[in-house]
Amino acid sequence: MTKVSFRILSVIFVLTFAALACGLPSPAQLLQSEPVEVVEGVSPDTPVNASEALPTLVSETGAVPVVQPPVDLVSQQDALIALHAKVSPGVVSIQVLTELGGGQGSGFVIDNDGHIVTNFHVVHGGTDIEVAFPSGLKVKGEIIGEDADSDLAIIKVDVPADQLVPLTLGDSSNLQVGQIVVAIGNPFGLNGTMTTGILSGQGRTLDSLNETPEGGRFYSTGDLLQTDAAINPGNSGGPLLNLNGEVIGVNRAIRTFNSTDAGEPLNSGVGFAISINIVKRVAPALIANGSYDYPYLGISSLNEITLDIANELGLERAVGVVITQVVPGGPSDDAGLQVSDVITAVDGQELNSFGDMISYLFNNTSPGDTITFTVFRDGSSIPIELVVGSRP
């Protein structure tokens, strides 16, 4: 077979598939028909309204039948659709200009007075803040309160109450790992994006954005929620919700080892949100005073007790808060706490980790309160009272 004839057969083969796909005449008919003169790209046999001659795409007889999803999945789908329609009007996009450039994040309305919750790291240092509502309304925003410890901030906008959709704040004390959660925000500037996942963990602890006086270290922030709902740059400050549409957290951060070409972090299934009960304590103070006074102990601790440390301290279980440093003149120093003490309970509530203690303090105490620690020292448990201080 010559190369020329091979090319002809190849063309016929390709045309055969094209004809089967498009309902055109067969290759044999095309090759046998007489040449047709085409004037200005229109065949004499083509109707003036060519669209009327196009084939109609219909399902073939015997095609895979439509599968009806289980009723519970349909109900969940309907619930998510309704949730987005209900909540998204209260979620805003925030554009920030700073002396170093600009940034973008999310936020949500919490009342009819125009107060919006977002992250400290989204708006801090902003010289010009623009708030965009899903309705198309865009207004300037003013920062009236910031808190580097919780990574929360409050923006005030001058908008009529009838154009505001405040979201309902839930209760993070009754959450359970495994329940479905929903994140709504503006990742990468894609407004109104909704993602779903589960609550992966509670009581997580990260470094705050508030540096200690000695420098080089940061205070801890606690009572964080962990989720696998997709959270990406631009989601920060947006709401994390339960299936009732109640806000249970404020999306804050992701833990990842991946990034875009521009260096922005990418979601890897580990996201964190500030629990709504922390927000309900901090936000009113930010609105009223512009700041929040955090409880302070003046100690450092390990995030986890290793087996070696547990054996060295004589612990039956590797739980509790091992003190590794006591700040001179701080509340813990005044109360008599020592390095290597293990705090096993506070006010009768058992502590498994440092995160448990931080969550308890942030949710239940204020500077000036007196609390009672149960401390394991030299093989015995002793009670120690402590007056909670204020973070420097």
**Which residues are annotated as catalytic?**
121, 151, 236
Q: Which of 184, 195, 188, 194 is nearest to 104 (CA)?
A: 188
CB 358 within 8 A of CB 205: yes
> What's the chain's length in residues?
392
In this structure, the dihedral spanned by the alpha carbons of residues 347, 348, 354 and 355, taken in order and rounded to 10 degrees, is -90
Measure the CA–CA gap between 354 and 304, rounded to whole angstroms: 8
Burial class (CB in 10 A: 0-12, 13-18, 19+), 361: buried
Q: Which of 237, 235, 239 is nearest to 182 (CA)?
A: 239
How many C-beta atoms lie closer than 10 Å to residue 240's C-beta?
A: 30
For the chain, first and last CA: distance in Å? 90
Measure the CA–CA gap between 29 and 32, rounded to whole angstroms: 5
Please give the helix or strand (H or E) that residue 379 lies within, else none.
none
